[in-house]
Amino acid sequence: NAGVMQNPRHLVRRRGQEARLRCSPMKGHSHVYWYRQLPEEGLKFMVYLQKENIIDESGMPKERFSAEFPKEGPSILRIQQVVRGDSAAYFCASSPLFLTDTQYFGPGTRLTVL
Amino acid sequence: KNEVEQSPQNLTAQEGEFITINCSYSVGISALHWLQQHPGGGIVSLFMLSSGKKKHGRLIATINIQEKHSSLHITASHPRDSAVYICAVRSRNTDKLIFGTGTRLQVFP
């Protein structure tokens, strides 16, 4: 049973470009969470999604950031018009049906904005 | 003040030593997690606790709900235990995970 997959592992973008981060949850998991880890800081919750639904996006910046988890395919975290401050590690986690279950983390995507 | 505080921030040990990492929190929780983040960056979930104590190999995690405190113990530490250990609590109000900033552990042979 493959774990949570994230790609790309490393992503370099210039200011103003778009970044698309993908997360494939573990098989059978229908809950996906995105977290951001800024340099020298702890992880921060961004968004919680179930298939085709955004359940909680209270941690997402109001502009330029969006997330989706379509019926088919991976969850996507999209950052438009990236700025240097978006440089961070972005982690995805998934859990099975029940919200209180353990979350399984992916390896993360390290975004560098030049 | 952070809602989840860990101590110490950095910890060095000699192989074989007994290690304790502490976590205090100020919010009502439904569960507490201990995570391990290796130098490559990947995160592994070690424990999820809502009461008492759990043991897995050389790792032991305890939680005291009344005191809002948890400890992670590593017995007979080994260089491969070198990593950042992160405490995270699931807020009872919001159901979201709130993370501590981590404890960086280095175990020398």
Q: State pLDDT tens for residues B56-95.
A: 999 999 999 999 999 999 999 999 999 999 999 998 888 8
Q: Which has more pLDDT, A95 or B14?
A: B14
Maximum distance among all alpha carbons in chain A? 40
The minimal CB distance from A105 to the residues B45, B48, B100 is found for B45
Q: How far apart are CA B80 and CA B74, in angstroms?
A: 12
Cα-based distances in Å from A22 to A2, A6, A27, A85, A91: 16, 6, 15, 20, 10
Residues 6+ apart with CB under 8 A from B11: B19, B21, B103, B104, B105, B106
Query: What is the model's pLDDT at position B41?
Result: 75
Nearest chain B CA: its distance from A42 CA (Å): 4
Closest chain B residue by Cα to residue A101: B48
Q: How far apart are CA A25 and CA A104, in angstroms?
A: 9
Which residues pair with residue A48 across a beta bridge? Answer: A33, A56
The minimal CB distance from B41 to the residues A42, A48, A108 is found for A108
Helix (H, G, I), strand (E, B) or coil at B79: helix
Residues of chain A in contact with residue B95, where contact means CB-CB under 8 angstroms, are 56, 99
Query: What is the model's pLDDT at position B18?
Result: 97
> In terms of C-beta density within 10 A (0-12 exposed, 13-18 middle, 19 or more buried), how is residue A101 classed?
middle
Task: Write the pLDDT tens digit of every residue in B37-58.
Answer: 988 778 998 999 999 999 999 9
Query: What is the model's pLDDT at position A99?
Result: 57
Report the candidate in B98, B80, B102, B85 with the shortest Cα–Cα distance to residue B30: B98
pLDDT tens, residue order, chain A (114 aa): 578 999 999 999 999 999 999 999 998 888 999 999 988 788 999 999 998 899 999 999 989 999 999 999 999 999 999 999 999 999 999 988 655 567 889 999 999 999
Give B17's DSSP letter: -
Query: What is the model's pLDDT at position B83?
Result: 96
The minimal CB distance from A41 to the residues B48, B96, B101 is found for B101
